[in-house]
Amino acid sequence: MTYCVWRLLKITSKKSPSDKKLISAIHTIAGFTPKNLELYRLATRHSSLIKENGNGFKENNERLEYLGDAILGASVADFLFKKFPYKSEGFLTEMRSRIVNRESLNLLARKIGIGNIVQYDQKNSQLQQVILGNTLEAIVGAIYLDKGYSSTKKFVIKKLITPNYDLDELVSTQTNFKSRVIEWSQREGKEVRFEIVDIKKGKIHKEFTAQVFVNNEVMGTGYGNSKKKAEQDAAYKTCEKLNILSEISVRS
């Protein structure tokens, strides 16, 4: 019997069945035994289960989700920054967005078993399908408070990113955002146009400002040292605003 298994059995021996299940699940998902179990109880409690403490505070995972969202984003950004030392800010931003977008996190959370421990109002049968990613973020927040940033970043990289995302595939399927905006406009029956609205002369090169108009409304403004780069930047911001950044597939 390994020390980790012995310690897990010792910790769970006097716990309730629900706590034993939670401790075992966190050990499976994260690779360690929780120190402060209450953090993980809170992280897995959705707001559809209204529970107030004596001070009128609603005990659900929304605050931990807020914290976990920031920690997850920082961990992924740190990982990508070091993984791709010669790539541009735009490339890194897109890669991070494709890893931590809501659809991707929902798929990932379902794969690693978050659905087995999330607590929610089961009268709403569709709710679990859309809250798993939020719960995963809340668990990241709980790990941060329980174990610190270094352990949390290790969890994000070794347990979430590395085994579940093919980074080479992500790189090879980099997106032409201008094409995506055009495809979206055709699908939705919207009128779209790209305009260079300003050109400034710099010491080394010109700086172009581009805007994307959808039905004559400005949806994105971008900058670059060429017309193409400025339009792509504006298109990326338009995709962000329209919530049409690409979804990515989590490894099965």
Q: Residue 200: phi, psi to the nearest 5?
A: -115, 140
Q: Which one from 65, 69, 146, 231 is the annotated catalytic residue?
A: 69
Which residues are paired to 19 by β-bridges?
none
Which amino acid makes up residue 235?
A
Does an H or E element contain 135, and which? Answer: helix 128-147
Which residues are paired to 196 by β-bridges?
210
In whole angstroms, give the CA distance from residue 97 to residue 245: 8
Residue 69 a catalytic site member: yes
Provide the b/e sequence for 70-107 (b: ≥16 CB within 10 Å). Answer: ebbbbbbbebbeeeeeeeeebebebbbbbbbbebbbbb
Which amino acid makes up residue 208?
F
For 195, the 3-state DSSP assignment is strand
Residue 137 a catalytic site member: yes
3-state helix, strand, coil in the chain (%, to 5): 60, 10, 30
Taking every pair of C-alpha atoms in the chain, what is the biggest distance, in angstroms? 72
Q: Which one from 62, 65, 94, 137 is the annotated catalytic residue?
A: 137
Catalytic residues: 69, 137
